[in-house]
Amino acid sequence: MNATLLIDYLKQEILHDETIDISSSDNLLASGLVDSMGIVRYISWISERWNIEIPPQDMTIEHFITIDAIVAYLESRGAL
């Protein structure tokens, strides 16, 4: 499942803590889980992992605020 892959990467590479409980609907920024630099790293990895170019106009909070939003964005781009 792609949400699981996204959560696993977030825990391992961005947060460096696999014990954190993250649901696909958690607000990544408001919860304090991820800061702006973490989001930039996450978007970069997503772009590389799914081999898509994410244009600057798509780098909005609406697309990357939750794991669910990221999955929806990737599906809208035909990446999933």
Q: Does residue 1 surpass a pLDDT of 70? A: no
**Full domain range(s) for residue 22:** 2-76
- Find the CATH number of the domain harbouring 46: 1.10.1200.10
Terminal-to-terminal C-alpha distance of the chain:
10
pLDDT band at 79 (very low <50, low <70, confident <90, very high): confident
pLDDT at 4: 94
pLDDT at 78: 86
Q: List pLDDT tens digits, range 40-58.
A: 999 999 999 999 999 999 9
Q: Does residue 36 surpass a pLDDT of 90? A: no
pLDDT at 10: 95
How far apart CA 8 and CA 14 sit, in angstroms, is 10
Q: How many domains does the chain have?
A: 1
